[in-house]
Chains A and B, each alone.
Chain A
């Protein structure tokens, strides 16, 4: 192979593979070798599944040889967050409690990317059960930021974000419950998308908070992220919360520009962010204005209650979703004198501190005597947030905000103070509560030249306009000057 595909766009790799200029096996081999030489420092993967990847690549090449359609992602490597279930391959959620578990089935998105010809390189690191904003809560050790190994990549999908940012993989899948795709995308300087709730099937996504979780793509460009979302979107009869309507064509209008679009900058989410983050957002807004969009500031007052509502609703659902890890059917079991002691010993050993914290918080919020005051209240606030967004979308096509209040922080900086860690999701949480789509893309650099993310928000199923705006922003965005750790 004369041509290196490392760092190449997914769409370009697929084009080369389809036109037989390079084989899927060559692409995958090159990426596996690249990951093998760089991931020991980065630790973006929990498990690199070389053999499975090579045999999947061969299947793609054979399809092409037979003249069959290999799919829109033919031969494109992809990294899967390790809370996506993969048949016969260890799926851990970065938790000791799932140690050794080999699922007997594949997640719907795993089937979909395979059918589209993408080749999974392996499973990426995450905060245990997707609970965290730095990937430090992994029981396999933290992932590092590819621009600065002393800093966090964000989380919880930190492994997927770091792998794509460091060019170990052109694409990755993550999950976003309160910002777990967008926040690490911002901190690693790449594109990350949380789709409308129900656009992508959750079947096979190990649940954290079921009414908030969505799977979404990571890529190094807006187009590649749209390409991957197009593949995974669509109705799934195995998920009752999957939308019936067919997925919109995300790529068709992506280059249409923003002329005439009404774009609102959310006032409540600029207050309190790092100065350079705020500046970058305003520059981004100006760039859109220069391209013909109508830019105004808009107040979405209820978003400031998002964090409080989220940290009652998400742990409540999690406390129930994580009950099944009990040492009976799969995963870790620590034998006790009787069943109850076995439950307690297995769960106490198997779960890390943050997971326990959220299970207890959620159990408390649902417990007798507190339900109305905490969980019930949070559900009502959720309605207020939806209504507040609705009022804004009566006047605007899309909204803008920073993705995170700051750029990537140092490892260990927030570990002992959960609340300060939670605050790093303050800009991303409201859209999960509303079920709306939002995405982050890199726009400028902050302190130490670390990347800054800008968030584009849209109403439910407003992905087409969201991608249009993101693409326009991308065109005007400054190139990140800081080098990756291996450059």
Chain B
């Protein structure tokens, strides 16, 4: 597949007469216990320079030894992305920067462990080619002091923490197959789902365990040749990815239309101002002087090992989506499909299917997972298919109103308690139908004219009565039950 048509013309024709071309480089931190080449903890949020040793500090005389589990996770990623997993070697990429303890990065250059795969976008089913997914080490973290809001610009000095130096990364490089900012977002969402499902990464963009650089170029619609591309860095969320691509494409089109040329360069996304700016150019062009890393020997995973790793990869997102879809009797609507994609990409599908197995309604379980649970994903560990399923059953059975169910779920996520206890402590004990009937009677007595009109068939007045009952019951009555009682009294 060389060229593929975009999923929707409105996306590719984002700027009339022009086509956007995007390729993404995604750096993914691997979920190992220790760093890539030493036994220091791979941990986020420790005190600076407390997870360091001679190897990851690049002290003279120290030598790297590859973490076997990092290689396994890299192979899982490769297999999940349909890559050819093959013998590979490490190279040194030489450049001076204070976050790089050895002033070279150990990376894979000529031969990557994973090459020539693809990722299928969930909505359009378009295949985005993966050129390679290679292993490399992360850098330390530099904090700029004295500048404008911690930026490098205008800083007086910088402070370096090497806790992150040497953490294993896999860099996943796509071909320039994406044709819009939306498509780029869809790609990253699906890639993240794959990384999480394979157990290779926690996929957290906010903590920097997933970092995206975008290569963006534009060309006139119908043109077969690529334009000059710019690489955009500092994309810390899906939102910035979409905005940055949109801005950069517009900038390039304006440049060309005003008779100027796009200069190939690396640009920095400024989230506050919503613009990309050229990174300050160096006195000399980079010349990384790659050469084979003499301190390491080649990686040559055997066919048996690769097969064994393949058998340990969990169910992939596309299969997980199918599994959710199969729970519905009819094909899910567009919005339900979006919820399915969200649930799977956040790893919530096991929760939903488990709840359904415990007797919960599929549609309701999916909605609560893709909305309420998704918005508090950090506390996912506090609920399980059993407690979540129980909550959904309580809501579906009318024991909790929708509003109450959301509140109970929120508290469950915070505290880890079961739905029954939470509902009781919030005073959401189920209202007996006879009590609701009492409320309905009171409301009818208070509004006889409205009741006459409702009884005569003016259905839209149902909302009025439900609202009145809710007031009386302080929100504890279930709207569906109220409506049912109203209807039965009318006939």
Among candidates B60, B63, B291, residue contacting A316 with C-beta atoms closer than 8 Å: B291
A61 at the interface (CB under 8 A from B): no
- Per-residue CB proximity of A319-340 to B under 8 Å, as 1/0? 1100110101110000000011
B61 near A85 with CB under 8 A, answer yes
Asked whether A207 and B65 contact (CB < 8 A) given A320-B94, A329-B101, the answer is no
Pair A210/B295 contact, Cβ less than 8 Å: yes
Q: Shortest Cβ distance from B264 into chain A, in angstroms?
A: 16
Q: Which residues of A contact B59 (CB under 8 A)?
A: 85, 103-105, 329-330
Residues B294 and A239 in contact, CB atoms below 8 Å apart = no
CB proximity of A35 to chain B, nearest CB, Å: 25
- Is B61's CB under 8 angstroms from A103's CB? yes
Interface positions of A from 312 to 358, Cβ below 8 Å from B: 316-317, 319-320, 323-324, 326, 328-330, 339-340, 343
- Say if the beta carbon of A145 comes within 8 Å of chain B: no
Residue of A nearest to B102 (CB): A324
How far does the Cβ of A213 sit from chain B's closest Cβ, in whole Å? Answer: 9
- Measured between beta carbons, the chain B residues less than 8 angstroms from A237 are 65
CB distance from B193 to the nearest CB of A (A): 34
* In the assembled complex, B208 has its CB within 8 A of some CB on chain A: no
The answer for the CA separation of A375 and B295 in the assembled complex, in Å, is 17
Q: Of the candidates B96, B289, B294, B296, which one forms a contact with A343 in the assembled complex, judged by CB atoms under 8 Å apart?
A: B96
B270 to chain A, nearest CB (A): 22
| Count, A-B residue pairs, CB within 8 A | 99
What residue in chain A is nearest B289 (Cβ atoms)?
A366
The reply to whether A367 and B289 contact each other, CB–CB distance below 8 Å, is: yes
Interface size class of A (residues with CB under 8 A): 35 or more
Q: In the bound complex, do residue A206 and residue B60 qualify as a contact, i.e. CB atoms below 8 Å apart?
A: yes
Please determine whether A323 and B60 come into contact, CB atoms closer than 8 angstroms. no
Asked whether B291 lies within 8 Å of A326 as measured between CB atoms, the reply is no
- Taking the complex as formed, is A169 at the interface, i.e. its CB lies under 8 A from any CB of chain B? no
- Residues on A with C-beta less than 8 A from B61 are 83-85, 103, 107, 203-207
Q: Is A363 an interface residue (CB 8 A)?
A: yes
What is the minimal beta-carbon distance from B201 to any residue of chain A, in angstroms? 25
Assuming the A-B contacts A210-B295, A366-B289, are A323 and B104 also in contact, with contact meaning beta carbons closer than 8 angstroms in the complex?
yes
In chain A, positions 220-252 with a C-beta closer than 8 Å to chain B are 237-241
Please determine whether B291 and A366 come into contact, CB atoms closer than 8 angstroms: yes
Roughly how many angstroms separate A191 CA and B60 CA in the complex, as a whole number? 28
How long is the Cα–Cα vector from A371 to B65 in the complex, in angstroms?
27
Is A202 part of the binding interface, using a Cβ–Cβ cutoff of 8 Å?
Answer: yes
Question: What's the nearest-Cβ distance from chain A to residue B173, in Å?
Answer: 21
Taking a contact as CB atoms under 8 Å apart, the answer to whether A328 and B294 are in contact is: no
From known contacts A105-B54, A240-B63, infer whether A339 and B98 are also in contact, taking CB-CB under 8 Å: yes
In the bound complex, residues from chain A placing their C-beta under 8 Å from that of B96 are 323, 326, 340, 343
Docked pose: A343 CA to B97 CA in angstroms? 10
How many angstroms from the CA of A211 to the CA of B295 in the assembled complex?
7
- Is A452 an interface position by the 8 A CB rule? no
Count chain B residues whose beta carbon lies closer than 8 angstroms to a beta carbon of A. 30
A84, A205, A210: which has the most chain B beta carbons within 10 Å? A210
Query: Taking the complex as formed, is A368 at the interface, i.e. its CB lies under 8 A from any CB of chain B?
Result: yes
- Decide yes or no whether B287 CB sits under 8 A from chain A: yes
Inter-subunit contact B104/A320 (CB<8 Å): yes
B256 within 8 A of partner (CB): no
Which of the residues B63, B66, B289, B291 comes within 8 Å of A203, measured between beta carbons?
Answer: B63
B291 touches A323 (CB 8 A): no
Contact of B101 among A84, A107, A324 (CB under 8 A): A324
Chain B residues closer than 8 Å to A319, beta-carbon distance: 94, 289
B160 is an interface residue with CB less than 8 A from chain A: yes
User: Which of A104, A211, A323 has the most B CB atoms < 10 Å from its CB?
Assistant: A323
Using Cβ atoms and an 8 Å threshold, which residues of chain B touch A103? 54, 59-61
User: For residue A107, which residues in chain B have a CB less than 8 angstroms away from its CB?
Assistant: 61
Residues 232-287 (chain B) with a chain A CB within 8 angstroms = 283, 287
Known: A91-B60, A103-B60, A103-B61. A317 touches B294 (CB 8 A): yes
> A454: CB under 8 A from chain B?
no
Known: A324-B101, A328-B98, A329-B101. A240 touches B295 (CB 8 A): yes
Determine whether B199 belongs to the interface, using a CB cutoff of 8 Å to chain A: no
| Residue of B with least CB distance to A362 | B289
Q: B103's contact among A98, A204, A323, by CB below 8 Å, is which?
A: A323
- Find out whether the CB atom of B94 lies under 8 angstroms from the CB atom of A323: yes
How far is it, in angstroms, between the C-alpha of A74 and the C-alpha of B224 when the chains are bound? 77
| Per-residue interface assignment for chain A, residues 73 to 116, with 1 indicating a CB less than 8 Å from any chain B CB and 0 otherwise | 00000000001110000010100001001011101000000000
Q: Are B63 and A238 in contact (CB under 8 A)?
A: yes
Cα of A323 to Cα of B106 in the assembled complex, Å? 13
CA distance A367 to B98 in the complex (A): 22
B65 touches A238 (CB 8 A): yes
A367 touches B103 (CB 8 A): no
Contacts of A105 in B (CB 8 A): 54, 59, 62
Report B330 CB to chain A, min CB distance, Å: 57
**A contact residues around B66 at 8 Å (CB):** 240
Chain B residue at minimum C-beta to C-beta distance from A237 = B65
What's the least CB distance linking A333 to chain B, in Å?
12
Asked whether any CB of chain A lies closer than 8 Å to the CB of B57, the reply is yes
| Chain B residues within CB distance 8 Å of chain A | 54, 57-66, 92, 94, 96, 98, 101-104, 158, 160, 283, 287, 289-291, 294-297
- 4 residue pairs, one from A and one from B, having the closest CB atoms: A323-B103, A210-B294, A366-B289, A211-B294
Q: A93-B60, A207-B60, A366-B290 are in contact. List 4 more A-B contacts (CB 8 A).
A: A107-B61, A207-B61, A210-B294, A316-B291
24 contacts between A and B (CB under 8 A): A98-B60, A107-B61, A202-B63, A204-B61, A207-B60, A207-B295, A210-B294, A237-B65, A241-B294, A241-B297, A320-B104, A320-B289, A320-B291, A323-B94, A323-B102, A324-B58, A324-B60, A324-B101, A328-B160, A329-B57, A329-B59, A366-B94, A366-B290, A371-B289
Give the B-binding residues of A (Cβ under 8 A): 83-85, 91, 93, 98, 101, 103-105, 107, 202-207, 209-211, 237-241, 316-317, 319-320, 323-324, 326, 328-330, 339-340, 343, 363, 366-368, 371, 375
